[in-house]
Structure 1
């Protein structure tokens, strides 16, 4: 019985230590998310701006309402972001070919350059991380992240 309690205590301690490391990682990510960065020739872009560009670029073109839903923000917030990006000549609007009331937004060439630069940043990160992990560690990492997401959604 004492051995079982000791194992459970050790298990809880290891989870607590892992949680502490995860908390530090989240804080580091939050620090990164506070500062504008340069992506291609677009100049400095805030995290919300580059994530908006990423969502538009991923879709190739998207309705304003769909973009708001995808980003999890209000249409008003997307309109403000879009206006900033439009002023920087990174996005453009056009009428939807099938619905003249709908506005389709897409990236300009400059916006596509920023989108690709952002993709390259992610690709380089994944390459560097994968060089540090073997196949088993990657499998365990995926499984842990999946289980953590499922737990947090409860």
Structure 2
């Protein structure tokens, strides 16, 4: 019996990954509506998601969580502030640090995004076993690690 690696044609895998990358690039350019927050780009909604999961955080922590520079996170937060989705405030004890948290509109966008993720996992669950979903998630993690190299 051949292993999955022996059965896989690297050219087919490469073509699949290429298609995925192209679809993700197209998705990245398309804003989507998230409730009262209106249209948000994928970068904006993932920033909101990171803030929402953390219940508010330091800007430097947000940059680290998203894997982007502090300058890039500052630009994203400024855009989201302009859309009334987030708010910044000075840290109580460290004047150099800035805290960022979700506004009411940001919370609504966060919840809408969570519902979208829930529907995605429900769709996966209808087609894959829990073990297959775990393998899928591991593959995504490995793919991200490879892209970080």
Specify if TM > 0.5.
yes
Aligned length: 147
Residue 149 of structure 1, CA deviation = 5.5
Q: Match for 2:53 among 58, 65, 69?
A: 58
Match in the other structure for 1:78: 73
How does 1:5-154 map onto structure 2 within 5 Å?
A: 11=6, 14-142=9-137, 144-145=139-140
**Once structures 1 and 2 are overlaid, which stretch shifts more, 83-92 or 126-135?**
126-135
Q: Distance in 1 between matches of 2:95 and 2:9?
A: 58
Which protein has the larger Cα radius of gyration, Structure 1 or Structure 2?
A: 1
- Normalised by the size of structure 2, how large is the TM-score? 0.81
- Normalised by the size of structure 1, how large is the TM-score? 0.79
What's the secondary structure of 1:78's corresponding residue? helix
Q: Distance in 1 between matches of 2:10 and 2:147?
A: 15
Q: What is the root-mean-square deviation of aligned Cα atoms in Å?
A: 2.7
**Once structures 1 and 2 are overlaid, which stretch shifts more, 129-138 or 84-93?**
129-138
Q: Gaps spanning 5+ residues in structure 1: where?
A: 1-6
Q: Gaps spanning 5+ residues in structure 2: where?
A: none
